[in-house]
Amino acid sequence: MNAIVVTPAPAGARNGNRITALRWTLRLRELGLRVRIRERWEGEPCDLLVALHAVRSHPSICRHTEQLPSGRRIVALTGTDIYADPISIEARESIDLASAVVVLQPEAIRRVPEAARAKARVIRQSATRPPTKLRIAPPDALEVVALGHLREVKDPLVAAEAVAALPTSSGVRMFHLGAAPDETWRARAIAAASRSNERWRWLGDRPRAEAMRLLAGADLFVLTSVTEGGANVVTEAIACGVPILSTKNDGAVGILGPDHPGYFPVGDALALSRLLQRCEADAAFLQELRLRSVALQPLVDPTTERLAWAELLAELSL
C-alpha cells in the first residue's frame, strides 16, 4: 500500500511538523506501508494521504479528493489549525474531506468542529531518550533548557524575564535552543540575555541530536508557549525523564494532565520565576516533577504510538 505524508515543513527543517512527519513515516513503515514524505501531493500513486496541517496542506487534500475520491485521507490538526479563532474555512474544508482526523492530545478533541468529532482520534506523539547526555552549565547550577524557534506564539522571552527576576544569588542557568526567524528576533534575544546577566542564554539553532542530548542532561525543562496543539518537546522531555514547568495551555494539559504541579499562567514571568526558585530550593518538589515525567513515559513510548496507528488503519480498512 502506498502512503504519502504531506507536511509544509521542508526537508532539513527542525520544527515540530517535520519531526512528526519523519516519526509517523517510520511508524507506518513498521506497519508495512510504503511511505514517502512530500511538501505537497501532486498526483503520485497514493492509497493513503496523511496530511499534517489542515490549512497549509489544504491544496493537497482538495487535489487528492478530486483525483482519488475513494482514497483515504487522514488530516492531522496542528495547534495553529485548532486554536485559531475562528477555525479557518480551509481548515474546516480539510476536516470535512478527511476520512479521519488526528489530534495529538485529548484536550484538542474539544476544538474539533462538532460534526467531525466522531471521526477524530487521539494519537499521542512518541519519543526516545538519546543514548548520551550533554551538560554545559557549571556542576552546582540548576541547568534549565527550553527548545523552540523564536516566535510570538512560543513567547520564548518570558523565560528570560523570569530568570532576570531571580535573586542574584540564584544558581539557575537557562539555555534556549531554536532559530531566530529574522534580525529583529535575534536582537531581542541578545538583549534579553544581557538583561539576565547571561543567566538566560540563547544558543541559536542547533542540530537535533545535540538539542536532545542537552534536554536529556538538563535538570529542568520549561515550555512558555501561548498555545500548543501537542508539543513534541514536552513528549521528548517526558521520554528523557526531565522535570517540566509549563504554561497551562491545552496542549500541555492534554499531555501532562490537569493536576500537574508545574504550571504557570501564560505570559506570567514572575510566576515562572517563583517556580524556578522553588525548583532550586526544594529538592522534594523537583523530584515530584521528575516522577511525574517518569510516570507518563508509557504514553510516549513508540510502541503506544504504533498501536494507535494500527487501530486507525484498521478502522479505515487499510
Lowest mean pLDDT among 138-142, 227-231, 302-306: 227-231
Question: What pLDDT, on a 0 to 100 scale, did the predictor assign at position 229?
Answer: 86
DSSP label of 72: E
Q: How confident is the model at residue 15 (pLDDT cuts 50, 70, 90)?
A: confident
The answer on 288 and 146 residing in a single domain is: yes
Asked if the structure places residue 81 within a domain, the reply is yes
In this prediction, residue 213 carries a pLDDT of 98
What is residue 248's predicted lDDT score, i.e. its pLDDT? Answer: 97
Do 269 and 162 meet the contact criterion of CB atoms below 8 Å apart? yes
**Would you say the C-alpha torsion 158, 160, 165, 167 has a positive or negative sign?**
positive
Q: How confident is the model at residue 89 (pLDDT cuts 50, 70, 90)?
A: very high
pLDDT confidence of residue 253: 96
- Mean pLDDT in residue range 61-80: 95
Instruction: Give percent of the chain with pLDDT exceeding 90.
Output: 92
Residue 173 domain flag: yes
- CA neighbor of 52 nearest in space, from 39, 43, 42: 39
pLDDT tens digits, 18-44: 999 999 999 999 999 999 999 999 999
Q: Is a pLDDT exceeding 90 seen at residue 47?
A: yes
CA dist., res. 36 & res. 5, Å (int): 6
Which residues have CB under 8 Å from 66's CB, separation 6+? Answer: none
User: The domain that contains 232 carries what CATH number?
Assistant: 3.40.50.2000
Angle at 129 (CA atoms; ends 307, 25), nearest 5 degrees: 40
Q: Residue 79: what pLDDT? A: 86
For residue range 197-206, list pLDDT tens digits in order: 999 999 999 9
Say whether both 68 and 112 belong to one domain: yes
Question: In the beta sheet, which residues pair with residue 176?
Answer: 146, 202
Do 268 and 216 fall within a single domain? yes
At 53, the pLDDT band (50, 70, 90 cuts) reads very high
The pLDDT of residue 82 is: 87
Residue 230 has pLDDT above 90, yes or no: no
The DSSP line for 124-176 is: -------SS----S-TTSEEEEEES---GGG-THHHHHHHHTS-TT--EEEEE
Residue 55 CB-half CA count within 13 A: 12
- Mean pLDDT, rounded, for 254-262: 97
* Domain extent at residue 6: 2-125+301-315
Residues 129-149 have a mean pLDDT of 96
Mean predicted confidence (pLDDT) in 72-86? 90
86 upstream amide cis, omega within 30 of 0: yes
**Is residue 137 included in any domain, yes or no?**
no
Mean pLDDT of 49-60: 96
Interatomic CA distance for residues 189 and 182, integer angstroms: 11
Within a domain: residue 269?
A: yes
Query: Is residue 76 included in any domain, yes or no?
Result: yes
Q: Is the pLDDT of residue 311 over 90?
A: yes
